[in-house]
Amino acid sequence: MMKLSSLLGSLALLGTTLLPACSAEVTLGKGNQQDNLNEDKKNCAQVITCVDGQQYPTACGPSNGDKPLGPCDEPAPSCDSTKVCAQVLTCIDGQQYPTACGPANCDKPIGPCDEPAPSCDPTMICTQAITCVDGQQYPTGCGPANCDKPLGPCDEPVKCDPTMICTQVLTCIDGQQYPTGCGPANCDKPLGACDEPAPSCNPDLVCTQVITCVDGQQYPTGCGPANCDKPLGPCDEPVECDPTLVCDLALTCIDGQQYPTGCGPKNCDKPIGPCDEPVKCDPELTCTQVITCVGGQLYPTGCGPANCDKPLGPCDEPAPSCDPNMGCGEAITCVDGQLYPTTCGPKNCDKPIGPCEDPS
């Protein structure tokens, strides 16, 4: 019994000796963590920050142990929808984008993807020439292919197409005279300086304040586009008619509607049904000598049926060969009997704005 009491006394003494040391070690550890946490908080900007949909009182977010203040909306990433980008599928941050710019041009991802291994080679030998690639300037001709970082944004040179068919008329674009209606779009060099024609509208015109319909577009004043106003939207122009007109009794097709007389709607007659308008042509048109497929029919010139040529036979129309991103001169141009709003004619996918006579 004496031995058992002695053993219990020793264990009690041993516990009394060890416990304070263990407790002190734990307390010291907590103190160091708190000091480190306080030090982190001192290094954070005191600005409310949104991280992963939660609002925090400093710029460090949750990394310094702060608790969120509540939910928040993260700001949308900054992007530029006007950025010109290479048309190539690109994988960025595990998301596939339709251009090389990724989200930088505000494109939305089209799905998840596996990012490829780095496609640049820092050992590549490159020409020492500043080069513009995808709107970014690089210090060598390799662009980003040698892993160089961009120096900053840049404007890419306008691309031209030497195979473009252009009207043979001197054209003034950006103060330079070119030998065709395409200007620089077909890679022609300027012939010299020129004075661009004065704008065809006058913003100082005094106009009646009445909404007016001109050429199917509604304008805020009686001047229409003559005072440089922009159209408000499309409109239907009122038809002026005279019921006393004497008209020949012949079914006539006007604007896709059939009328009982040669006057069409001019004598206030109502259309009697839809119709197909006959093709209007001008045998005096000057046309490019190239076989052309129009409306599924093959014609001997670029005018198609517009110069009254007969079709040579049926054909398959080619896929559209226009580029809506083409850089064009802002000058109304006549191409193959049709008037277009720029010097590119239909090459930039513009629709014709009316008929015209090609210069001889």
| Per-residue pLDDT tens digits for 73-92 | 876 557 888 888 878 788 88
Angle at alpha carbon of residue 261, lines to 259 and 264, rounded to 5°: 50
Q: Which is nearest to 357 in space by CA: 299, 310, 303, 320?
A: 303
Q: Does this model's pTM top 0.75?
A: no
Read off the pLDDT of residues 168-193 as tens digits, 9 standing for 90 and up: 888 888 888 889 888 888 888 899 88
Task: Provide the terminal-to-terminal Cα distance of the chain, rounded to the nearest Å.
Answer: 133
Query: What mean pLDDT comes out for the span 146-162?
Result: 82
Please, which residues bridge with residue 219 across strands? 212
Q: Which is nearest to 165 in space by CA: 353, 351, 347?
A: 347
Query: What mean pLDDT comes out for the span 119-131?
Result: 82
Read off the pLDDT of residues 7-60 as tens digits, 9 standing for 90 and up: 445 544 444 444 444 443 444 444 454 545 444 455 687 888 888 888 988 878
Write the burial class of residue 346 (CB in 10 Å: 0-12 exposed, 13-18 middle, 19+ buried): middle
Amino acid type, 159: K
Q: Which is nearest to 77 in space by CA: 99, 63, 93, 64?
A: 93
Which pLDDT score, from 0 to 100, does residue 68 have?
92
- Please check the confidence at residue 239 and state whether its pLDDT lies above 70: no
In angstroms, rounded to a whole number, what is the distance separating the alpha carbons of residues 183 and 70? 60
Q: CB neighbours of 87 closer than 8 A, spacing ≥ 6?
A: 98, 99
Q: In this structure, how many other beta carbons lie within 10 angstroms of the beta carbon of residue 67?
A: 8
**What does the DSSP assignment read for 267-301?**
GTPPP-EE-PPPPP--TT----SS-EEETTEEESS
Q: Which of 68-72, 257-261, 276-280 has the lowest mean pLDDT?
A: 276-280
